[in-house]
Structures are given as C-alpha cells and as structure tokens.
A and B are shown apart, each in its own frame.
Chain A
Amino acid sequence: MRREPTEQEIRDQRMYVKFGLTDDEYARICTRLGRLPNYTETGVFSVMWSEHCSYKSSRKHLRRFPTQGTHVLQGPGENAGIIDIGDNLAVSFKMESHNHPTAVEPYQGAATGVGGIIRDVFTMGARPIALLNSLRFGTLDQARTRYLFSHAVEGIAFYGNCIGIPTVGGEVVFDARYAENPLVNAMCIGLMTHDQIATGHASGVGNPVLVVGAKTGRDGIHGATFASAQDPNEKERSAVQVGDPFMEKLLLEACLELIATGRVVGIQDMGAAGLTSSSAEMASRAGSGLTLDVSRVPCRETGMSPYEIMLSESQERMLVVMKEGESAIAEEIFAKWGLEATVIGRVTDDGSLRITEGERVAAELPIAALVDEAPVLDRPAVRPAYLDQLNVAPVRLSTQGDLTGDLLALVAEPTIASKEWVYRQYDTMVRTETLVRPGADAAVIGIPDSQKAIATSADGNGKYVYLNPRQGGAMAVAEAARNIVCTGARPLAVTDCLNYGNPEKPEIFYQFRESIDGMSEACEKLGTPVISGNVSFYNETGGQDIYPTPIIGMVGLLEQAERLVTSAFKRGEGAVYLLAPKGQAIRDGLGGSAYLAMKRPDEALSYQLPAFDLDAEKAVQDACLALAEAGVLAAAHDISDGGLAVALAESCVQGSVGLAVAVTIAPDDEQEVLLFGESPSRILVQVRAGQEKRLKELASSFLVSFLPLGAVAETDRFHITLNEKTAIDAEVSALRDAWRGAIASWMN
C-alpha cells in the first residue's frame, strides 16, 4: 500500500491545493480544528467545501427563491422536494446536472446522471414514475458533437429503459456555445402517499447506520471536486463512474420495501462525495454525530484506504439509519433482492463525524465545520458591457423574402426540428400511464387508480438569458408554466438546474444573480415555488463560457385526466385563435429569435429581446387554463422557438391536417415579426366545434386578446395570407418531412 502523506507534508507542500482547497480555506480548517488535518481529513474537507457540495458561490442567492406554498410538503434541503396533489397523494421531484462527466464519457456520464436523480427521488419514499432530460450540445456539423450527443442520448436511454421508468419529456438545443461544455440535466418525478415520506436524518443515539446496495470501488474519487474544475478534460480520469441500472432497479425495490416497514429513521443516496457527504449531511440535518468503521464497508477492490472509501463515488449505494435493533429487517429485505445491507456504524450525539478503520481512528471532524461552516462566498457581480450595446431589434430582415422557404428551413434547424430521433430511443410508455408522450408541450402521466394526472415540462433558453439575464430567467419559468397550462393542467411547483460559466468572473456571476431574481419573480407571480434544484458552475473551456442556462422543470396537476388538451390540430373542430396579451399579439421585433440566428448568424446576439410582462403572462395562462377546464379547447400549443409560423406548422403536422390562415396586420412590413418573432406569452388554441360563442364569452372576462387566425383544412396545404397576400404556401407533408427528418439526416 502506498504511504499517505503526513499532516506536515500536506501543509509544507501545499498538497491541499491539488484537492481544490485554497490557502485561505486550508488555514481556516487548521484554526477550526486546532491542529493540522491528516490526509483523509483533508480529503473530506475538500469535497465538503467544494462548490458542488457546499454551494459556496450560490448559497446566498438561492435563498431568494420562493419556496413556500400550502401544497409544499418538502422544500429545498432534502434529496428532493415534495408537493401535495390531494387525496393523500404527493409527488416528489428534482433535477440535477451531469455536465462534466458527460463531456468526458458521454454514455456513462449521462447514464449515471439519470441514476443519481432517480436515487434522489426514491430515497424520499416515492416510486419514480417519469424522467425528463434537458440537453445542450454544439452544432451537429461537428463530428465530436454528434459523438457526444448520440452517446449521451444512448446512455440516458440505457439507464431509464433498463430500470423501467418512462422518459416522457425534455428538450435539446444545439449551439456552438455548448460545443466544449455539453449540458445534461436529468429530472425525475416520483409518486407517494403522505405516510411514505422518508427523509435524510441521522437521528437517535445508538441507531445503526447501514451501507446498502452496490459495493464500493475506487471509481469517481474526487468527482465532486472535479465537477467544479474548470477544464473537464484535464481532470482526473478515474473520476468517471459506470452505471448499473439493474443494480439500481433492485436497490429501488428494496428501499421502497424497507421504507414501507416504518422502521427507517433516515435514508440518503450516496451521490457526489459518496459516503462523506451523505453521512455529514444526514448528521447535520439531525444535529447528531456519527461514528463509522470503514473496514466494514463492503468493497469491490482490495486494499482501499479510509480516504478512498470515504470519497468513492461508486454508484447505486445508499446510507440508511434504522431504528435500534431493527437492522436485521434491512438485511433480510436486501437479501431477498440479492443485495447487501451492512451495519457500518452508529448515531452519536457529540456532533462529530468519527471515521475508524477497525480500532484506529482515521478521521474525526466536527460536522458543523464540514456543513454549516463551509465557506459562503459573496462573489462580485458586474454588469457585462455587451448588455448595454444591444440594439433595438429589427422587425424585418429581407426586402423580398421567400417566407415559405424560410419556414421550411427553420423547421429543419436542429433546435426546432422534431426530437423524435432522441425520444424514440426512450421507453416512453412503460408503466402504462403515459397519456401524452414526448412531442407535445408537456407530457402527461396518469395517476393510477385516480382521475388525476400530472403534466410536466423542462424548459430553458440560454440565449434569452444571455441577452437579458433577469427577463430571460423569468421567461424560462413562464415557458415551463405555459407548456403545462396548454395541457389543461395547473402549474404547481418548480425544480431548477442552474448551468453557468465560471462564477469567478464577475460578468458571469451577474448573469447568475440577475437570472435568479428573474426566476424568483416569475415563480412568485405564477404561484410555483421552487422545491428542489441544482447548480452547475464552471461550464467554461478556454475562456469561453456557455450561455447562462437555467433549466426549469415544472410539474402541474390535472384533476380530471380526461379533460386533457393536446397540441395537435384536429379535423372537424373549430377555428384557430392566437391567445396573447391584450393588444400585443405582435410586438418588438426579432431579437433573440431562431429566425434571426438562421438568417443573420453574425447578428444573433446583437439585439434586445421582445418585452415581457409577468402580469400579462399570468393573464394569458389563466385564460388558457379556464378555457381548458371549461372544455372549450380542441387543441392548445405554446408559441416558443421559431414563433407563430413554426407553432402552427407543428400543430398541423401532429394532427396531419392542413390550415388556412388569413390575418390583417398593420403596418404591412411586420410580416416576419408576426410569423417568426418570439414574443413571449402567446398560445395557439383551436376551439371545439360549436364552442366559439363560449370562447368569446369567456375570453372577454380575461384581459387577453383572441386574434382569429383561420381554420383547419382537410387538405395537405399550409397556407398563410397576410394583408390579403400569400405569405406562406407549403405542403404539410413537406413541412413534416423537413421537421421530422432534420436530426436523423445529420446523425445517419
């Protein structure tokens, strides 16, 4: 066995720097302990005080999120949040990033991201019922991007499909900004009854502490530190883990069975920083202490040191505290599933984390120092200069455009094109409760033996946040909620995954801080508290940072599943309307739009976003929801990337119907804004046959406008007339082929 460096060597050779600790932090640790930390202790501190575990850059700002609500059963701070959906039922959900591992080993990196988020949810006592993922990659003309993208998707599919949880939604954006720093954010939703709620508390002096699940190996040591390192390619390569969804499936069943016995005191998944963070956090929440003997931890490899065992990030493991004398129940249940459950220590009341190897004390650290006293930084934020150089957005790009050609090209832009190439690799139907599969605004999942269903969506637009951090943050929340109301569901709560560049740059930190304020305001206004989330910084390579990319995962509730509305236009139903803020169906130019990026790539980041108003957004969403609940809607579809024309095309393609739209606008030269502008807060609706009168009655009670657009047709023609002149005339089948085939044509 290699000799571990001594306390003095660590200090004299500044070895702690390699662990990711600064001189300052190391000095603080020495002062706090009143002595020099040994090798294991230095390792434990370094992961607990890493950005990934301590949230040292973000903690202060995350407090501004609204987290309260009458339906919130568990807010941020646990493995996942929980909301009440009535009838003694609750849903638990959370989103998490696995960006850095994916950049190095896309298949396993993405797969283990899914595995981690599933564990977060079932530790709460919930049975996972749905997965979503939000992805960002470079552009598909790069072979490296195609490699990362295809392997990440395959890894996500591998894990979710094998474990038997349907992957029902997500989003994918391709932009050169993400070429070196792809983003993989995975979200999991679980279902439970109120009495099944479990938490990560290590309480009750003398209670046994168990490691359950997979054996511990040397994989992923220092993964947490690595997640915070600036150059993922330079970091320790051993930090990549391999996922075993089969093991996780067994672990899931065993844990739920164990929690159902009522003998579990606390349970927590071992994610980043493995045994170290799970034990410290569980003790911290309960205000207790722990003593753990690492020689009892079942290991996959021989000769593992306490340091390695404490820092291993081997997957598919949990830490469980049982009631005193009840550990045999855990052993029995786990044995049935072919798994190990091993007592490795006890709960104490001395507030310290004591790690022994047999009799020898390997580390002894105050839990408060590891968790509560972790550094909280007040990073400087400076408004980036580019924000003040943005111009007022143009309303027109071409003097004599071929708008039909533009639409066909736009629907074939990979970011806008159908993501079928992705989600047909996911088992979207297992559990036989998926009522709306991927391809619509939000997925809808039925609640077994109930009239209820939940709707869910993951959304974010980094370019918007880049162009206007505060407004962009609010718009991400608004879009997620709009996707939910388009199904007829009422938005309930939010999980977030905040992906940013290097927080040490004041301009990046400004983006972070401002966008949090924007998201907070929107969550407040829309009544959707944040119940869980995750932060990923240092998405930066060679000085280039990603767009600030907060992703919002939202869950909403449909009381009557049969009332659900889909985005496909339907034959034999009524007219199509544009639901928009009063007097503002069209406004503010092409800033931030996919159309601008396609036509004038060099100017894509030169213009301001269209204005956004939260009150107007709320009015539009309330109107949509009221119409859905009144049974007036045959279809509803949110207008987002690509604007009105793309949204109309999508609803036609999904319903296999034609369309004849005729609109009068003034002034005449705002055609492109009307067709392709990305003004927020707009929803396309198709009214049910014979319900137009009801629509008008209801509409007048909301402060919104209903602009009649036209009617669905039995033909293959997609026809838009503006001011009595044909603006777009395409075959629906041509739009469909362009939209559906685009990503596949890059990938084959």
Chain B
Amino acid sequence: MNCAVLQFPGSNCDQDAVKAVAGTLSLKADLVWHETADLNAYDLIIVPGGFSYGDYLRAGAIARFSKAMQATVAAAERGAYVLGICNGFQILTEAGLLPGALRRNDHRQFRCDMVELEVVNGATDFTRAYEKARVTIPIAHGEGNYYVDDEMLKRLEENQQIVFRYASEQSPNGSVANIAGVINERGNVLGMMPHPERAVSERLGSTDGISLFRSILTSWRDGHAS
C-alpha cells in the first residue's frame, strides 16, 4: 500500500502521521507538498491536522483549492482511501468530499483532551479491526463542532455514515448528534476530529488509534487479493 501524507503551509501533524504509519504498519509514508498535482501512485492519502494557511477565514477553506487537494478529489473518485484528521476533516468538508461543516466549538475555546469515542460503525474499511465499541483517542481543536441539517443527519444515519461519536453525553465541542467522524457514501473517505495518530503507543497514553491504521491496510489487501 502506497501512502501519502499531504503537507500544506501550516500543517503540523504531518510528521506525526508519518510516524504513526511507520509505527503501526511498518510502511514509509511519503510527505507530499501541496503543490503536487499527481497522486496517482497512492492508495491511501492522509490529510493531516494542523492549521493549513493559518486556518484564516475558516479552517480548511483555503487548503481546499491547492493542487494536492484537487488531486485528492480525483484519487477519491478512483477509489483510493482518504483519511482526514482534524484540520484534514475540515478540509475534506470544505472540498465537498464529506457532508457538513465544522463550526467553532460551542464553548468557544480550543480543547485538547483524551476523549472516549463510540465506534458507531465498526464495519467500514477504516474500522473493521476494532474489537471494542469504546475507544480512547485525543482531540485537539478549536473548530470541531460538526454541523449538518436534519435532513442530512437522517441520511447519514440511514446510510450508517456516522463512524465515531463522542461517548460522553456532552460532546466536547457541541457537534450535532455528538458526531466525531463521518464517512462518505462510497466508504473510502473518512474524516474525524480526534487524532488516531496520537494514540499509537502506551507511552502516549492510548493505543486505540492502531486499529484504524491496521483496518485500512487489511481492507486494501482484501481489495487487492484477487
């Protein structure tokens, strides 16, 4: 599986994603500069966390127009896996690869914490390796307050596109229906506010991000078995 981690001016979890891929899958992910227009070689594209273009205007609003993002849209169309983490999730919604929008947290503060998540859909290509329904993965964001209107929410629920929810009754940011991560209809693009790449070893306080990376590799192998 060839893996790319996009790098925008202002990305700051790019190296962490590379480290996590190496640590959990023993694969060397390529850092891909935002001016790259060709992502044909990649099976997994990670859009990492950070503050692309300073998150000025709106988080993810400017990054979406980069060449690398246009190539990512094309890659998603051909069926490659796309994983947007935190700022990456914001970029994917701005780019229209995922529904909804991420607003400022309802309490108006940045929030960094270990949070408990419910794995709502453990059957996706990104979550099939999860053996438990509750996992602990950190968040770190100021604009993670997921919004969709009622109609879209119904559709997400019907299609089982809600992949992660915050497990505590009160979400850490005010998200509609406690949503922490959603997948597209086709099932190859996942966006999530929590940081699985920060939960890959005991010394970081959680290993619950490992299964996410493993799931992708297993799914990719299955897809390429025949």
Contact = CB atoms under 8 A, between A and B. Distances in A.
Our verdict on whether A and B bind, yes or no, reads yes
B60 interface: no
B9 A249 contact: yes
Interface stretch (B13-21, B90-98, B158-166, B173-181): B13-21
A244 B19 contact: no
Interface string A411-438: 0000000000001111111111011000
Quick one: which of A158, A246, A561 has the most chain B CB within 10 A? Answer: A246
A169 interface: no
A162 B9 contact: no
Contacts of B15: 431
A506 interface: no
B113 A162 contact: no
A626 interface: no
Interface in A373-432: 423-432
B110 A427 contact: yes
B197 interface: yes
Contacts of A426: 110, 112
Interface string B93-128: 000000000000000011111000000000000000
B12 interface: yes
A424 B50 contact: no
Contacts of B13: 164, 430
Interface of B is mostly: mixed
A430 B140 contact: yes
Contacts of B200: 432
Interface string A550-594: 000000000001100000000000000000000000000000000
Contacts of B51: 161-162, 164, 245-246, 249
Given A429-B204, A431-B15, A432-B19, A245 B109 contact: no
Given A161-B110, A162-B54, A427 B9 contact: no
A163 B52 CA distance: 10
Contact of A164 (B12, B19, B142): B12
B140 A435 contact: no
B24 to A, nearest CB: 12
Interface string B142-183: 100000000000000000000000000000000000000000
A250 B112 contact: no
B10 interface: yes
Contacts of B9: 246, 249-250, 337-338
A729 interface: no
A116 interface: no
B10 A425 contact: no
A157 interface: yes
A406 B12 CA distance: 45
B109 A161 contact: no
Interface in B188-218: 195, 197-198, 200, 203-204
B10 A249 contact: yes
Interface in B43-67: 49-51, 53-56
B88 interface: no
Contacts of A208: none
A41 to B, nearest CB: 38
Contacts of B203: 435, 446, 561-562
Contacts of A428: 112, 140
Interface string B1-32: 00000000110110110011000000000000
A244 B112 contact: no
B84 interface: no
Nearest to A162: B51
Nearest to B20: A432
Contacts of A154: 109-110
B111 A163 contact: no
B106 to A, nearest CB: 13
Interface in A239-296: 244-247, 249-250
Contacts of B142: 161
A715 B19 CA distance: 40
A157 B12 contact: no
A65 B51 CA distance: 41
Interface in A154-173: 154, 157-158, 161-164
A561 B201 CA distance: 14
B112 A431 contact: no
Contacts of B198: 429-430, 432
A562 B202 CA distance: 11
A432 B196 CA distance: 11
A162 B113 CA distance: 17
A429 B112 contact: yes
Nearest to A250: B9
B112 A246 contact: no
Nearest to A150: B109
Contacts of A427: 110, 112, 140
B54 A430 contact: no
Contacts of A158: 110
Nearest to B15: A431
Contacts of B140: 161, 427-430
A162 B52 CA distance: 9
Given A161-B110, A427-B110, A432 B12 contact: no
Nearest to B23: A432
B31 to A, nearest CB: 12
B176 to A, nearest CB: 22
Nearest to B51: A162
Contacts of B138: 429
A251 to B, nearest CB: 11
A247 B56 CA distance: 11
A162 B53 CA distance: 10
A430 B16 contact: yes
Interface string A328-349: 0000000001100000000000
A161 B111 CA distance: 10
Contacts of A245: 51, 54
A425 B111 contact: yes
Given A249-B9, A432-B19, A424 B112 contact: yes
Given A164-B51, A244-B54, 18 more contacts: A154-B110, A157-B109, A157-B110, A158-B110, A161-B110, A162-B55, A245-B54, A246-B55, A246-B56, A247-B54, A424-B109, A425-B109, A427-B140, A429-B112, A429-B198, A432-B204, A434-B204, A435-B203
17 contacts: A161-B142, A246-B54, A246-B56, A249-B10, A424-B109, A428-B112, A428-B140, A430-B12, A430-B49, A430-B198, A432-B19, A432-B20, A432-B200, A432-B204, A435-B203, A446-B203, A561-B203
Interface of B: 9-10, 12-13, 15-16, 19-20, 49-51, 53-56, 109-113, 138, 140, 142, 195, 197-198, 200, 203-204
Interface of A: 154, 157-158, 161-164, 244-247, 249-250, 337-338, 423-432, 434-435, 446, 561-562
